Structure 1
Amino acid sequence: MRFRRVALVGKYHASGSRDALERVVHFLHEQGCEVTLERETAHHMGPLGDGTLDVAGIGAHCDLALVVGGDGTMLGIGRQLGPCGVPLIGINQGRLGFITDIPFDRFADILRPMLRGAYEEEHRALMRAGVWRDGDCVFQTIAMNDVVVNRGGAPSMVELRVEVDGHFVANQRADGLIIASPTGSTAYALSAGGPLIHPAIAGWVMVPIAPHTLSNRPIVLPSDGEIAIEVVAGREPSAHFDMQTFTSLLPGDRIAVRRSAHTLRLLHPVGWSYFDTLRRKLHWNEGVVA
């Protein structure tokens, strides 16, 4: 057995999640694994498995984290566990499933060889982002998908000054601006008109949201530098990180985005292909006879 101590993270807000987790726990026990439930999952689901641990405990004591849910569940735990070096496997109980790519109805057959070492490992870049105010860092976090700066609820644009490695790029008036990783290129950035980026490419995509100037287009930038966004003007602007954490902004605030020193370790079944995922999730080739 390659992974004996397995942490289980669930999508506890969805109906039927406890039954799904019970099935996974039962399967893991049959394989000889010790199963630890992530603390928030256990708080909402009740006791399952052989105990509970918080994220730090999982990082210190578990060989693998198994995520049962959708991409949002993976984002929530992935950006916390990424710096710990614990590999993750995603079982899809959500809708799209770009990074939780194992279908729930087939999880047992697919997981069985993976637990014994038959898998393909992929490393995904993480973003380190901070909000600076009057020279002090007032907020800092890790993001897996994207960093989004956008306007508040008022029907007015936000004005942003963008720099890359200290070089002025442009002042942008728009509903907001997205800085997305290759993983996040299939999320909000895609719906805002950004390109898909293969996960092996060391780059970020910068995508304006409903820009005032139509020549303001998405651009792919290298990930080895720093992107800085300064709030010039706007009513109640905010910054969102993976659309799960956010902070309110003031004029003059700077949001700095760099590549994290850590990466997220994702495990896939043998034969997994990123292009197969895109074709299946984006419905490419529908109606085409191969």
Structure 2
Amino acid sequence: MHPTFQRVALVGKYHESGSSAIVESTRAVISDLANFLSGMSCEIVLDKSTAESTGLEEFRTLEVPEIGEQCDLCVVVGGDGTMLGVGRQLATYGTPLIGINQGRLGFITDISLEHYREVLPLMLAGEFEEDHRSLMLGKVMREGVCVFEAHAMNDVVVNRGAASGMVELRVEVDGHFVANHRADGIIVATPTGSTAYSLSAGGPLLHPLVPAWALVPIAPHSLSNRPIVLADPVEIAIEIVAGRDASATFDMQSMTSLHHGDRIVVRRSEFRARFLHPKGWSYFDTLRRKLHWNTGGS
């Protein structure tokens, strides 16, 4: 079976201060996967950080941007966090990703380590479901100047300080005033991020095909401040009105020490991540498994 993807990059979950057992486990998985794909006539390259952390030296290495420029496919071994980090970087190149989960199956890393030998040959021959995920571009504006900018695939979160009380946040959508929220913070979530922090804060589930964001207050002072779903072409601005030590995170990339008057501006990115799933994959199957929904029965 001749593979559709000729040059395949491998990225593994690595821990800079991980135990020798964790490193050895990751090394064994990446080595086995690389040799398996090589046997399918794929040219294998490793993410440079993965190669350095595992000590694997027999394969060519590339930085993640170089993977985007030179590779047909990226296979990520780890969990959803690893997949999000790599997907965010490769979205600008349109590189498709396949996720293999070392532990519990994730929302976007849905191939178990035990089954990749049966699943990957079919996917590499073109039998897969393609799933595009939108990204947000977030900026922190201070006195009209951008002081921080990042892409986010899950969410942009504005939080109160750990030792302070609630914050007051002025929210605007496309320049129209929405409300001043007094709360522990507020989340702007993509459909991908709707199953993450947003869900635990009471936000709605958004199907990946829905072009929308969820705007979700965190522990609001007024119970009438409810989550709202917005069309994703809009621009959302969140201004720090009151509160100490507020911070903003963009998929957990932090921008701390926000000042009063700072504006966190979120809009849709021009880029989308490309995830590939096994043929027959369904988003609802994933929700049912991960959220332990009743599967019914006869």
Distance 1:101 1:49, change over 3 A: farther
The alpha carbon displacement at 1:49 in A equals 5.1
Tell me the equivalent position of 1:42: 51
SS in 2 for 1:66: strand
The alpha carbon displacement at 1:48 in A equals 4.7
Asked if 1:189 corresponds to 2:191, the answer is no
Tell me the equivalent position of 1:23: 32
Match of 1:144 among 153, 156, 159: 153
Maintained 8 Å contact 2:71/2:95: yes
2:53 and 2:41 map into 1 onto residues whose CA distance is 26
SS in 2 for 1:88: strand
1:93 and 1:234 map into 2 onto residues whose CA distance is 41
1:155 and 1:109 map into 2 onto residues whose CA distance is 52
2:103 and 2:229 map into 1 onto residues whose CA distance is 29
What CA deviation, in whole Å up to 9, does each residue of 1:195-234 have, x standing for no partner? 1000000000011111111111111001001000001112
Match of 1:238 among 247, 259, 265: 247
Tell me the equivalent position of 1:269: 278
Asked if 1:2 corresponds to 2:4, the answer is yes
Match of 2:207 among 192, 198, 212: 198
Maintained 8 Å contact 1:25/1:49: no
Tell me the equivalent position of 2:269: 260
What CA deviation, in whole Å up to 9, does each residue of 1:55-111 have, x standing for no partner? 211011000010100000011111111011100011112435000011111011011
SS in 1 for 2:140: strand
Distance 1:117 1:230, change over 3 A: same
Maintained 8 Å contact 1:11/1:17: yes
SS in 2 for 1:276: helix
Asked if 1:172 corresponds to 2:181, the answer is yes
Tell me the equivalent position of 1:207: 216
Match of 1:127 among 122, 136, 154: 136
1:273 and 1:144 map into 2 onto residues whose CA distance is 20
Moved over 6 A (4+): none
The alpha carbon displacement at 1:41 in A equals 1.4
SS in 2 for 1:199: coil
Greater alpha carbon shift after TM alignment, 43-52 vs 273-282: 43-52
Match of 1:59 among 59, 64, 68: 68
Distance 1:113 1:49, change over 3 A: farther
SS in 1 for 2:293: coil
Tell me the equivalent position of 2:124: 115
Distance 1:263 1:35, change over 3 A: same
What CA deviation, in whole Å up to 9, does each residue of 1:147-200 have, x standing for no partner? 000011114111110000000000011111000000000000001111100000
1:63 and 1:227 map into 2 onto residues whose CA distance is 35
Maintained 8 Å contact 2:27/2:56: no
TM-score in terms of structure 2 length: 0.94
**1:5 counterpart letter in structure 2:** R
Maintained 8 Å contact 1:110/1:269: yes
Match of 1:83 among 81, 88, 92: 92
Percent of aligned positions that are identical: 62
Q: Which runs of 5+ in 2 are unaligned?
A: none
Distance 1:49 1:260, change over 3 A: farther
Distance 1:162 1:121, change over 3 A: same
SS in 2 for 1:284: coil
SS in 2 for 1:178: strand
Q: Number of residue pairs matched?
A: 288
SS in 1 for 2:76: strand
Greater alpha carbon shift after TM alignment, 165-174 vs 150-159: 150-159
